[in-house]
Amino acid sequence: MSKIMDRLEKTMAAMQNAGTSTALGLKLKKAAIAAMMGGRGSDEWKSYMSLFAANEEQLARLTAPITAADPSWLPESRAYMIANAICGGDSTTQTGVKVEMDIDDNISDVPDGNIVEPGQPKPANGVERPFVIP
């Protein structure tokens, strides 16, 4: 079981353990730039956000269009998840800074098999993460 914040914290820990200008940091930065340039709704955005999701419900929290019913902090948290990696990919380790803890409220933390690691069989309509966060 894994929450979005758990995966962000795992990423920050991996960056701290590996150093700040490592291949992992550069992969994260490259994926975040592709997501930003592709925009929300793009395959690049979905691929990047899959790094922090354990299931489709979590991925939807990070990728679905913002509605009037969504909390005001959600767009900002999503933006920081990308911006922190672009800046932080080779300068800091704080990928989850300014992401609201509420991002995990009312969504499942049980993996559902539709988000897979690279090289695993991808289910129809599933998402393959761009790389593995150790």
SS in 3 state form for 28-83? HHHHHHHHHHHCCCCHHHHHHHHCCCCCHHHHHHHHCCCCCCCCCHHHHHHHHHHH
Does the pLDDT value for residue 106 go beyond 80? yes
pTM: 0.80
Q: What is the pLDDT, as a whole number, of residue 80?
A: 87
In this predicted structure, what is the pLDDT of residue 75?
Answer: 93
- HSE (side-chain half, CA atoms, 13 Å) at 111: 14
pLDDT value of position 34: 95
> Average model confidence (pLDDT) for the chain?
86
Residue 35 pLDDT: 96
